[in-house]
Structures are given as structure tokens and as C-alpha cells.
Amino acid sequence: MSTTNQASTPAEHIAQRQSHWDNIAARRAGRNFFSAEYHHRLTEIYQWMVSPGQRVLEVGCGQATLLAALKPSRGVGVDISGVMLSVARQEHPGLEFFHGDILDYKSEETFDVIILSDLVNDLWDIQQVFMHLKQFCTSDTRILINFHSRVYQPWLSLASVLGLATPTLLQNWVTPQDVTNLLHLAGYEVFRHQREILLPISLPLVRDLFNKVLVKLWPFNELAWMNLLCARPQLPPGAKQPSVSVIIPARNEAGNIEAAFQRTPTMGSHTELIFVEGHSKDNTFEAIQQAIVRHPERDARVFQQTGKGKADAVRLGFDEARGDILMILDADLTVRPEDLPRFYEALVSGKGEFINGVRLVYPMQEQAMRFLNLLGNKTFSLLFSWLLGQPIKDTLCGTKVLWNRDYKKIVANRSYFGEFDPFGDFDLIFGAAKQNRRIVDMPIRYQERTYGQTNIDRWRHGMLLFRMVAVAAFRLKFV
């Protein structure tokens, strides 16, 4: 780190940094022993977090190596260094660039992702920048911010003096708590914090062990070089009342169909009921058909599965859904249909983007869940919370609510995890986490069945869930 005098005004602060980074770019000093490997791993992390084809704004883009690697459908880079941007324009002609301070950047367009990579340490007024970026956000925009850990401040200073790392000017050296608080003050919510990069040195095999595995485990994660925060803007909900599709998978549930029609509330501008019957041994399909005739006031349709399993049934229902919001309601009605409006309000108000039912808060009726099922759910909740980086208490509650537009993004990236989830719970939860959606738990009172028997084989399916956790660990955590 250089020992230049501290700036006394914002203009002086920007002028110092513009001169500094112009000199760095002119000397081609942006990559060296530590920084080359650091930026290589940083790019890998961002490529995992940002799907190709999104609209991306990077503040402090430098030569735009990271921005270009994300393959955006629309990529805009902002930087104060004219020399840096001259290189960027030559190497990445498909991107657009703005030379100047981010506070001077004006545009009416919005972005899916806004990136501040190794920038907050260098800003004059971090909160002001966060507030300025709000105009480029929608409720779906993700703000991704990475910055160095204070643990390595003296080592980075020494490395830059020795020419082993890119030299910097006087830094802010904020903590994750500092940045989280500044984001909160500017109207954002941080819902994921990751510690990344344990060994910024290019050593084959050893590098991956340290940077993909050990850095995710305690106590090694306390020594990570970089903090990465994922935040979303807290924008007021729109006045529009979205429509709702309630998907009701039904196998051997003939005795519950009439209650599903009578008890499911009407929500939003319109509510449709989509029943998916799955090879029942009783007269479930006929019961649904008869109920549709008896209830012309309900917009209801029924489909029969060609495949097997609840996941297949839910996907069929989702594909046929016309609503803005997708809800899953198990036909056994162990989750009360009367609770669905609470899920609706949590989603529409912006409190969450994936609302997950939780059966493990309120006391259950005596036969509602067997002890081993309860133990398994608690175990998986701990594993999921660790894997997702977001707290989630109950992974296997059948009721889940999300936006139809977000489900389409999950479908587009489903191949990343594979096709071996018979229930569909993991498919949706992992998919939502991969798309950086805010997952929120919704406690409900779990009821005892009044008709039929559970379709779950707890031993066979329990072992399958462990397999899924193992696979997902290397898709979500150790990447």
C-alpha cells in the first residue's frame, strides 16, 4: 500500500485514485504473484453466482476482465481510470463503458446484477454510492460485493511494497458488519455472506483443496482473504395484485378433494386450482372431475401424470399454471389451505422471494409426524442452512410458494443439479439458492391426516436425500 496523503475532499479523493489506477494500467501492473491467482479464483466464484445472459453493471470494472467473463446479455462497466477503460474497450468491444465516478453515471435502464468487486475499500462515501445504485435496481436485482478481510491488511501492505500484489492507496478496511449496516441504511437487505479464497497462490490440487473446500469449513474460513455479500434492494411492492396458481398433487386422496375445493382461499386478482392426479388406486381422478362440476365458481383443472413421483406432478402443474405466483398444496391437507394467504402476503410484500413452509415451530397433532421423520427433518434443516448460507428450518414441508418468473429461471438451470429428486423440494430450494433468491421460512401448524396414508417411504427416500445433500454440497458449497 502506498503512503500518499489522505484526501480532504471527494474531488481530491477521486483525482488521487484516477491517477493511481491510470499509472497501474499504463505499467500493466494489474496482475502479479498474488493478484493473478486471486482474480482467477474470483472470476470462478462470480461465474457460479451469475448466470450467463443477464444484464450486468460493474462499478469499478477496471479492464473489464470479470465483466466479460460473465457473458452478460447487456454489460456496462463504470470506472474512473481512462487508461483502464481504453484497454477494456479494445479487448471487449461488445461491452459498454462509462468513464467517470459512479455518482455521475445516469441511465434509465435497470440491471439484473450490480457488482462492486474490491471497490468499497476505495470509496469516499460507501453509503452514498449504495443509495445512488438504487435507481438501477428492480426488486429482482442482486448486489454482489466482495472486499478483502481486515485480517490481511498488514500482509497486503507488505506484499504491495515487495511488488507481489497490486499496490493500493489508503483503504477503508471495512468489516462485513460495516458493509451490511451501510447497505441497510441505504435500503438493502444482505441475505448471504460467504468467505472465499484461503490460498491466493497457483499450486495445482493444493489450490483447489484450500480455496474450494477448507475455506468453507471452520476454523479455516476465519482466515479467508475475501468476504462476499449478496444483497437485494428493499423496494416497496407494486400496486398490482398478482394472480395465483395453487398446484395440488393428489395420489390416493379421494376423501380430501372436496375439502380442498371448499377451504382453499381466493387470493390476488385471480386464483386457479390445478390438480395433478398420480396413478391413484382409489377414485381420486373421478372425485376431482366431479368436484370441478360441483364448483363452477372455482377456476379448476385436472391433469393426470404420465411420469411418477411428486416432483413430476408438481412440474406438470407448474408448466400448466397461468398465475404470476405458484403455490404447492399437498392434497392430504396436513398444511391448512387457510394458511396460504400468509404465504401470498410474504411474497407480494417483498419479505421473501421463496416462501418455505415450516412444520417444526408449533406443536403438532399426535400422529402428524413420526419421530424418525421429525429427526430427519431437523437433521436436513441444519445441513441445508449450512449449504445455502441462509437459515432454513424445514426442508421437506410440501408447501412452497414462489414467483412463476423465478421458477422459469430454476427450470433453465435445472441440469446443474441433475434429475433425481422424487419430491421436488430439493430441486426448488437448491434452484432458488443458485438464483440468489431470498428464502424465508413460514411457520404453520401441521395437521394430522383425516384420510389415507402417507406416500413417503422414509427409509428409501431418506437415503436418497442424503445422496442429494452430498451432490448438492459440491454444487453449492465446494465450488
Average pLDDT over residues 87-104: 97
Q: What CATH number does domain 10-233 carry, 3.40.50.150, 3.30.540.10, 1.10.3720.10, 3.40.367.20?
A: 3.40.50.150
Average pLDDT over residues 316-322: 98
More confident residue, 429 or 396: 429
Is residue 225 over pLDDT 60?
yes
Average pLDDT over residues 206-222: 94
**pLDDT at 468 (0 to 100):** 74
Which band of pLDDT confidence, cut at 50, 70 and 90, is reported for residue 452?
A: low
Domain(s) labelled CATH 3.90.550.10 in the chain stretch across 244-477
The per-residue pLDDT of the chain, averaged, comes to: 89
Is residue 407 over pLDDT 50?
yes
State the Rg of the chain over Cα: 25
Q: State pLDDT tens for residues 257-276.
A: 999 999 999 999 999 999 99
Average pLDDT over residues 46-68: 97
Average pLDDT over residues 28-38: 66
Is residue 471 over pLDDT 90?
no
Is the domain defined by 244-477 classed in CATH 3.90.550.10?
Answer: yes
Distance CA 407, CA 397 (A): 18
DSSP-derived 3-state class of residue 369:
coil
**pLDDT at 136 (0 to 100):** 98
Average pLDDT over residues 280-292: 96
Backbone angles phi, psi at 117, to 5 degrees: -100, 120
More confident residue, 235 or 84: 84
Helices (H) and strands (E) in the chain, counts: 16, 14
Distance CA 398, CA 454 (A): 12
**pLDDT at 466 (0 to 100):** 79
Number of Cβ within 10 Å of residue 47's Cβ equals 15
Is residue 378 over pLDDT 60?
yes
Is residue 254 over pLDDT 70?
yes
Which band of pLDDT confidence, cut at 50, 70 and 90, is reported for residue 1?
A: very low
Is residue 470 over pLDDT 90?
no
- CA 218 vs CA 205, 224, 397, 419, 471: distances in Å: 20, 11, 30, 31, 21
Average pLDDT over residues 117-137: 96
Q: Using an 8 Å Cβ cutoff, are 392 and 356 in contact?
A: yes
**pLDDT at 372 (0 to 100):** 62
Number of Cβ within 10 Å of residue 219's Cβ equals 7
Q: Report percent pLDDT > 90 for the chain.
A: 67
**pLDDT at 3 (0 to 100):** 44
DSSP-derived 3-state class of residue 73:
coil
Is residue 52 over pLDDT 80?
yes
**pLDDT at 2 (0 to 100):** 44
Is residue 249 over pLDDT 80?
yes
Which band of pLDDT confidence, cut at 50, 70 and 90, is reported for residue 366?
A: low
H-assigned helices in 123-220:
126-133, 153-161, 176-185, 206-208
Is residue 166 over pLDDT 60?
yes
Q: Give me the residue label for grid cell 434443516.
A: 381
Q: Give me the residue label for grid cell 386457479.
A: 272
**pLDDT at 290 (0 to 100):** 97
Backbone angles phi, psi at 4, to 5 degrees: -65, 155
Average pLDDT over residues 38-57: 95
Domain(s) labelled CATH 3.40.50.150 in the chain stretch across 10-233
Average pLDDT over residues 111-120: 97
Which band of pLDDT confidence, cut at 50, 70 and 90, is reported for residue 474?
A: confident
Distance CA 404, CA 202 (A): 43
HSE (side-chain half, CA atoms, 13 Å) at 200: 25
DSSP-derived 3-state class of residue 373:
helix
Is residue 303 over pLDDT 70?
yes
Q: Across the strands, what pairs with 335?
A: 446
Distance CA 175, CA 180 (A): 9
Is residue 31 over pLDDT 80?
no
For the four alpha carbons of 59, 63, 67 and 73, in that order, the dihedral sign comes to positive
CA dihedral 366, 372, 373, 379 (to 10 degrees): 130
For the four alpha carbons of 280, 283, 289 and 293, in that order, the dihedral sign comes to negative
Q: Report percent pLDDT > 70 for the chain.
A: 89
Which band of pLDDT confidence, cut at 50, 70 and 90, is reported for residue 165?
A: low
Indicate the pTM of the whole model.
0.89
More confident residue, 20 or 402: 402
Average pLDDT over residues 400-422: 89
Q: What is the DSSP string of 224-266?
A: -SEEEEEEEE-PPPPS----EEEEEEESS-GGGHHHHHHHSPP
Q: Across the strands, what pairs with 78?
A: 59, 98
